[in-house]
Every structure is written in C-alpha cells, then in structure tokens.
A and B are shown apart, each in its own frame.
Chain A
Amino acid sequence: DAKTTQPPSMDCAEGRAANLPCNHSTISGNEYVYWYRQIHSQGPQYIIHGLKNNETNEMASLIITEDRKSSTLILPHATLRDTAVYYCIVRFGGSQGNLIFGKGTKLSVKP
C-alpha cells in the first residue's frame, strides 16, 4: 500500500501557484519524498525529491515540514500543460526500493 495521502483533485488558475499537499506520517528516517506526475496516456515524469531540506529545481519546489510528516509540492506559475495526476511517493533514496504509486492528485489548471 502507498504510504502517502493526497487529495484526489485540485484546481488551479493558470499563472497562479499550485500547492499540492501530501501526508506521509509514517515516513522513516532514511526514506525520501519523491514527486512524479503523469500527463494523460504518458509515462510518469520525475519532478523532484528531497529528504528533509527544502528543494527547488527548474520545475518545482518541495517544502518538507520539520517533522517530515508532510510535504508540499509547489508549481510557481502553473500552465495548462501542468494539468496531470501528481504522485507523492516515499522510498529509499538512490537506486534502492520500489516506487509504490498511490492514487495521486488530479490537478486541473484552468484558463
């Protein structure tokens, strides 16, 4: 079973920031938080991952709470092409551990 909980769906206005929450209250000390997204009929796309520090890359920012029991993925300026299902996954970092996909959050970016 997936070790994360996400809202099933969210809407966001184009150009605004999209903040996608994820609860992972049972995360262990050596597990990372990974985010992927899946645009309709495509394979999942890696977005970002982190252990305990906040992370930022060209796609998004990842904010992890101090107790690591929850995190938020931030898309700073959502576009229509960001409409997808976003998956929050916890697993061991590096080349270890399977990715167990939950149901994710369906983000709809609206004009």
Chain B
Amino acid sequence: GAVVSQHPSRVICKSGTSVKIECRSLDFQATTMFWYRQFPKQSLMLMATSNEGSKATYEQGVEKDKFLINHASLTLSTLTVTSAHPEDSSFYICSADGTRQETQYFGPGTRLLVL
C-alpha cells in the first residue's frame, strides 16, 4: 500500500503554546488529506478534510481557528493546534487519498500531550 508519514510521532508541550504536526504522502500525490483525532479507548473521529490549494472543511464541533490546517502541496498537509490546552491531548492521525488510490492510507499518528 501507499506510504503516509507523520512528524513528530509524539510531542509534549506546555499549555498555551502551539504545536504543528506534518503529514506527508511519500509515494503518491494526495489530492485530499484527512485529519482524525482519537481519545483513549475511543474510535477515530474525523476533524477535517483538506484539498490541495483550498480551505479545509471542518466537521461540526471542530474549531477551525484552533485547529489550523494547511494543504499547500500534493504531498504535505499540516495541522497546527493553537493555544493548546490539556483537553487537546490526544492521538492525531492523518490520512491521504489520491486519484489513483482505491482508498485512504493512514499515517502512524502523533501523540500530543499538553501539560
């Protein structure tokens, strides 16, 4: 299957700071990228969908000013958690979809801990 990477794999930050997470499709061009969040013992929840060169579409209840998404190229999307708080601590996972792919492929996830 196609390869999607995320960086960093884990990050610890202080409350009030911002954290940027990168998602890259390594061997295909991703026309659409998705960002999910997963709390302990729960399933993945879709946060937003981003298409290269356009604004992201956020799911209901997800604050677009808090979770900034940039999809500047066909291989890179970034999620910035602004003014992070302890309740933002979670496992953030991206996925990518390309016109030649039959499905979405997921990154390994980024574990965020806000102190």
Interface residues of A (CB under 8 A from B): 34, 36, 38, 41-46, 49, 87, 93-95, 98-104
Contacts and interface: CB of A to CB of B under 8 A. Distances in A.
20 contacts: A42-B108, A43-B4, A43-B6, A43-B93, A44-B106, A46-B103, A46-B104, A46-B106, A93-B102, A95-B31, A95-B32, A95-B97, A95-B98, A95-B101, A99-B34, A99-B104, A101-B43, A101-B44, A101-B45, A102-B43
B108 A98 contact: no
Contacts of B45: 101
A42 B104 CA distance: 15
A94 B91 contact: no
Interface of A is mostly: loop
A43 B108 contact: yes
Interface of B: 1, 4, 6, 31-32, 34, 36, 43-46, 49, 91, 93, 95, 97-99, 101-109, 111
Contacts of A93: 102
A46 B102 CA distance: 10
B84 to A, nearest CB: 20
Given A99-B34, A100-B46, A101-B43, 18 more contacts: A41-B109, A43-B95, A43-B106, A43-B107, A44-B106, A45-B106, A46-B103, A46-B104, A49-B102, A49-B103, A87-B43, A95-B98, A95-B101, A98-B34, A98-B49, A99-B46, A99-B95, A103-B43
Nearest to B31: A95
A95 B1 CA distance: 15
A38 B44 CA distance: 10
Contacts of B98: 95
Contacts of A46: 1, 103-106
Nearest to B49: A98
A46 B98 CA distance: 15
Nearest to B4: A43
Nearest to B42: A103
A93 B95 CA distance: 16
